[in-house]
Amino acid sequence: MSKTEKKALTIDPEKWVEAYGDKLYQFALSRVHDSAVAEDLVQETFLAALKARKTFKGKSSVLTWMIGILRHKLIDHVKKNQKEFSVEDVEPFASASEDMFDDKGRWKTGPAKWLSNPMKIFEQHEFFKLFYKCLENIGTRLSMTFTLREVDGLDADEICKILDITTTNLWVILYRARLKLRTCLEENRFGLKR
């Protein structure tokens, strides 16, 4: 893309939807797992960008700037919908823990061996499809917490403020999310060997 084209995208909001809509939608959908909510968040992002376009200094790409706006919209969405999380998202994993760990908290059987190089699997499209499907199925609270920490890279204090939880609760939720993701990936045997 030439400098003239980039400048046109910055100046001409009519081209934003075509240029950035799909990427913003995928970003939102990977976090909220609801197409209608993702679409609404992207629309809100475009409106906010439109209102703030005169303050855009061009220190980053327009897409990066809009993803920053979208991240704030996602955080606002999580805060607004805190009460909608189900009880099952935070219920204890006693049976899973008993099957996987001994009394001292050590693995009874370690994680399954990867058949191939994990980086190659990670890069494969099929892995991402399964990963996001598993992420979608672990429950809203677990999924959102995991995404904020591991995908968005927020620190513990930021996540605790967003979700209005204690640090201890955060680590429990992250542990449960990782455990459920691991179980889902292993059950679907994506590149895993028992």
Domain ranges of the chain: 3-80, 84-193
Residue 37, pLDDT above cutoff 70? yes
The average pLDDT across 74-78 equals 85
d(C-alpha 100, C-alpha 95), whole Å: 9
pLDDT digits (tens, 9 = 90+) for 53-66: 888 877 888 888 88
Q: Residue 56: how many CA atoms within 13 Å on its side-chain side?
A: 23
- Look up residue 117 and give its two tokens: 């190089």
Same fold, 3-80 and 84-193: no
Residues in CB range of 194: below 8 A, 6 or more apart: 112
CATH architecture of 84-193: Orthogonal Bundle (1.10)
User: What's the pLDDT score for residue 97?
Assistant: 53
Model pTM score: 0.53
The mean predicted confidence, pLDDT, of the chain is 77
Whether residue 94 is predicted with pLDDT greater than 50 in this model: the reply is no
H helices of the chain, in order, are 3-11, 16-32, 35-52, 62-80, 94-100, 118-123, 125-137, 140-146, 156-163, 167-187
Q: What is the pLDDT of residue 54?
A: 82
Task: Identify the residue with better confidence: 151 or 115.
Answer: 151
| Class of 3-80 in CATH | mainly alpha
Neighbours of 94 (CB within 10 A): 8
At 18, the pLDDT band (50, 70, 90 cuts) reads confident
